[in-house]
Amino acid sequence: MTFLICILLASFATYLGAQSGDSPKVPEPMYKAGAKGVKPAKPLLTPEPQWPESARKKQFEGVIVLEGYVGTDGNFHDAKVIRSLQPALDAAAVEAVGKWKFKPCTKDGTPVNCKTNLEIAFNLF
């Protein structure tokens, strides 16, 4: 069994950050890809998530959508599941994107923080 990871970098108009008071503070300014002069982030290193054995045995497959932002450091921050597939797969996706590296979004040639959604697809072949 193998799976394919599909990555979709997309901007979204409203950032749906965590509501608790102890959640990480989102750095300002925060941009969105496609805004005037803002170029989207580009993935450089995208290690595949580990497919949990429990999910593999039950043949779970589909797409998980994460929201967060690509920072000026090229890391994906504050990953939050906004479309769940199965808890173990969701956790694997969040863990994996924590290891990913990006060429950051740029505004007028300067790296900026950029709101981004990622789609991670787990598919059986």
Domains identified in the chain and CATH numbers: 30-122 (3.30.2420.10)
pLDDT interval class at 110 (50, 70, 90): very high
Residue 125 and residue 2 in contact, taking contact as beta carbons nearer than 8 Å: yes
Handedness of CA 50, 100, 87, 89 (dihedral sign): negative
Per residue in 69-78, pLDDT tens? 999 999 999 9
Per residue in 15-54, pLDDT tens? 323 333 445 566 789 998 778 889 999 999 999 998 888 8
pTM above 0.85? no
Residue type (1 letter), 20: S
Instruction: Give the pLDDT of residue 120.
Output: 94
Beta-carbon contacts of 116 under 8 Å, excluding residues fewer than 6 positions away, are 9, 10, 11, 33, 40, 41, 67, 68, 69, 70, 76, 105
